[in-house]
A and B are shown apart, each in its own frame.
Chain A
Amino acid sequence: MKLTSLLKRNNKLAETAEQFKYLNGAIFQNGELPYFNEKLKACQKFPLKSSEIEILQINLGYMCNQVCAHCHVDAGPDRKEIMTKETLIDCLKVIKSCKIKTIDLTGGAPEMNPNFRWFVEEASKIGVADFIVRSNLTIIRANKSYFDLPNFFKKHNIHVVSSMPHWTKGKTDKQRGDGVFEKSIEALIDLNNIGYGKSDTNLKLDLVYNPSGAFLPSNQKDLEKEFKKVLFEKFGISFNNLFAITNLPVSRFLEYLIRSDNYEDYMHTLVESFNPNAADQVMCKNTISVGWDGNLYDCDFNQMLNLKINSSHNHIANFNPEKLSDRNIAISQHCYGCTAGSGSSCQGSIT
């Protein structure tokens, strides 16, 4: 059966309050596992404080051509939340005035926002050190209007970051949908053909690996070695870096954990793998996540949980870099996902 969003299925877990029932659930209430704030307190890292804002991660909308089994956004073709041009203009003002070093466009499929290309053109005129688009690859092959995306990316020196859960068709399609593997391979070849991921160009192509199940990613460097070897030997594909990202117990991945009776074991694994060094490097310290409606969050996960930022400067229209660089980060038990093992961020391992 084709997967649809939790929202479309009328699944209770589409509501954040329902998700928090589990994130604050019995295993934490009965003391079997410590709450995340207690864990931070025990190593003198509470409250978690932000530092200088370097990355603006902008969610252009929840609409997506794919419906991935683990998606923390609950994205899909049925989602109508799309960032308006007015909000995009506010983002441009912030990028210009606050000297943001990294722009990170995400979604959904960010390319499906009708103002995507206009925004990329305008933002590149301002000039940022690193301009990331999180492209799901299949969008490039989705229909004719997207076929020229690789050249568009190249023209604006976009750093392409794409998901690829495994080098085998079976595991990839199980997580991301039937046919995704083959389309992704075609898209990677297209990107390689114009210089992306090649050692003799500056066009960066990174892949994101999410485990396809209730387990953590292993060592990022080892996984990268394996991905590079197989993708090159089988398909002649090359890329720059592999980011190994832990799945956080949010939205569809949380629903999967509960349905498959893995939730408690997974939370145990995350808590037992808590790494205090990773807690010093979490991405929410130097990142602001902008929601499709312009609201600001500590990270994309907090956005999906509607966990508000601790600041009155909570919208892109009243963005204040100084105030936002000195805030207490909003946390809950899902945060264990970013501090487990080598740590996890949108740029992969952090220690």
Chain B
Amino acid sequence: MSNYYDPKDLKKFTAISEWNKELGTKFFDYYSSVFEDGALSAREKSLIALAVAHTEQCPYCIDAYTKDALERGITKEEMMEAIHAGAAIKSGASLVHGVQMMNKVNKLEM
């Protein structure tokens, strides 16, 4: 194996069911239900997925949901705003721990 990630592997995703059909089937059924229109539109969920794909830094998910967004006519501006929303939470999640650091410093220092 020359690379940890190969774009061709995304096409083989469903193969995970071959080694555990029951759980694999349950997962893919669940997955497709999640992205159907509901209280949120499929379009809104696609943008959430794109943002999470970036915070999870999953190259397969980034490829898949970038293409999905284009297919839905989602604009580049909307896509970039979505990933900034994800990135803001990601950086906020780091920075909010600064309070823990400050608490610890305040406790330890005289």
Contact = CB atoms under 8 A, between A and B. Distances in A.
Contact of B72 (A170, A213, A218): A218
Given A268-B11, A272-B11, A223 B73 contact: yes
A213 B71 CA distance: 9
Contacts of B33: none
A218 B71 contact: yes
Interface string A178-190: 0000000000000
A268 B11 CA distance: 9
B72 A223 contact: yes
Main secondary structure of the interface of B (DSSP, over half): helix
B71 A215 contact: yes
A70 B67 CA distance: 18
Interface string B46-74: 00000000000000000000011011110
Contacts of A166: 73
Nearest to A341: B71
A215 B67 contact: yes
Interface residues of B, number: 12
A216 interface: yes
A215 B70 contact: yes
A217 to B, nearest CB: 6
B71 A211 contact: yes
Contacts of B23: none
Contacts, number: 31
A86 to B, nearest CB: 43
B74 to A, nearest CB: 9
Interface residues of A, number: 19
Contacts of A168: 75
B89 interface: no
A211 B72 CA distance: 9
A178 B102 CA distance: 56
Nearest to B71: A218
Which of B70, B71, B73 has the most chain A CB atoms closer than 10 A to its own CB? Answer: B73
Contacts of A167: 73
A222 interface: yes
Contacts of A209: 73
B73 A216 contact: no
A322 interface: no
A28 B72 CA distance: 29
A226 interface: yes
Contacts of A223: 72-73
A174 to B, nearest CB: 11
Contacts of A222: 41-43, 72
16 contacts: A168-B75, A171-B75, A211-B71, A213-B70, A215-B70, A215-B71, A216-B71, A218-B68, A218-B71, A218-B73, A219-B42, A222-B42, A223-B72, A226-B43, A226-B72, A227-B73
Interface of B: 11, 41-43, 67-68, 70-73, 75-76
